[in-house]
Amino acid sequence: MPRHVAIIMDGNGRWASRRGLPRRVGHWRGAEAARSIVRAAVDLEIPCLTLFAFSSENWKRPVAEVVDLMGLLRRYLGNDYAAEMARLDVRVRMIGDRSRLPQDLMRIVQRLEEASADHKGLQLTVALSYGGRQEIAASARRLAEQAAAGRLDPTLIDEDLLAKGLELADLPDPDLLIRTGGEMRISNFLLWQVAYAELIFSDRLWPDFSREDLEAALIEFRRRDRRFGALSSTG
Distance CA 56, CA 198 (A): 24
Q: According to CB under 6 A, which one of 52, 76, 209, 221 is a site residue for ligand IPE?
A: 52
Buried b (16+ CB within 10 A) or exposed e, 33-59: bbeebbebbbeeebebbbbbbbbbebe
Per the annotation, the verdict on 188 as an active-site residue is no
> Exactly one of 10, 68, 173, 213 is catalytic; which is it?
10
Q: Does position 10 bind Mg ion by CB under 5 A?
A: yes
Distance CA 178, CA 180 (A): 7
Stretch 165-194 residues interacting with ligand IPE (CB under 6 A): 181, 183, 185, 187
Outline where DSSP puts E strands in 96-175: 123-130
53 touches which of ligand IPE, Mg ion, none (CB within 5 to 8 A by kind)? Answer: ligand IPE
Interacting span for ligand IPE (CB under 6 A) from 49-57, 137-145, 168-176, 194-202: 49-57
Per the annotation, the verdict on 153 as an active-site residue is no
Helices 103-116 and 79-88, packing angle to 10 deg: 20
What is the nearest approach in angstroms of ligand IPE to the Cβ of residue 183? Answer: 5
Q: Does position 10 bind ligand IPE by CB under 6 A?
A: yes
Q: Which is nearer to ligand IPE, 14 or 39 (CB)?
A: 14
Interacting span for Mg ion (CB under 5 A) from 6-14, 50-58, 63-71, 163-171: 6-14
Interacting span for ligand IPE (CB under 6 A) from 46-54, 106-114, 131-139, 217-225: 46-54
Q: Report in angstroms the alpha-carbon separations of 217 from 6, 112, 153, 210.
A: 12, 29, 44, 11
Contacts with 15 (C-beta within 8 Å, 6 or more apart), sequence order: 26, 29, 30, 205, 206, 207, 208
Question: How many of the other CB atoms lie within 10 Å of CB of 86?
Answer: 13
207 touches which of ligand IPE, Mg ion, none (CB within 5 to 8 A by kind)? Answer: none
Q: Is the dihedral of CA 58, 208, 68, 125 positive or negative?
A: negative
At position 128, the amino acid (one-letter code) is L
9 touches which of Mg ion, ligand IPE, none (CB within 5 to 8 A by kind)? Answer: ligand IPE
Positions in the binding site for Mg ion (CB under 5 A): 10
Residues involved in catalysis: 10, 58
Positions in the binding site for ligand IPE (CB under 6 A): 8-14, 52-55, 58, 69, 181, 183, 185, 187
